[in-house]
Amino acid sequence: MVATTTRDEAGRTQLLLLCLAAWLLPGSGHLLLGRRQKGAALCLVLLFMFVFGLGLSGRLFPFHVFEPLVVMAAIADLGLGLPWVVAKLLGYGAGDVVAVTFEYGNTFLIVAGLLNMLVVLDTYDIAVGRKEGGA
């Protein structure tokens, strides 16, 4: 009984680390599960969307507690993990409100973060066996 409990805890820890890796670097969860093509495609597409959103003068939203919609956008942006942290540390993502492409940039940034959250859930489903090998 003790060995089973220890094995279950080790499995949960590995699953948690897998999901953490999938969140930090888009596509890495699929890469770690041996799905190289899908992982590489997800990584390239999500990182492209993120960089493209920054290039379109999009804003990485701050966590302003008294503005609920801004907080939701900030959580969506944070969904991309490590690229978000790097962009924040390097001072990118201030946004240019007067730029014609500002809203398009915001949309790319928010959607990239939300899609990565779905990719993390997909990684989890594959790891626990809820989803078979297909697309």
pLDDT tens digit string along 65-107? 999 999 999 999 999 999 999 999 999 999 999 999 999 999 9
Q: Dihedral angle at the C-alpha atoms of 89, 93, 96, 99, nearest 10 degrees?
A: 140
pLDDT digits (tens, 9 = 90+) for 11-59: 899 999 999 999 999 999 999 999 999 999 999 999 999 999 999 999 9
Phi, psi of 94 (to 5 degrees): -70, -30
Q: What's the CA gap between 29 and 51, in Å, rounded? A: 21
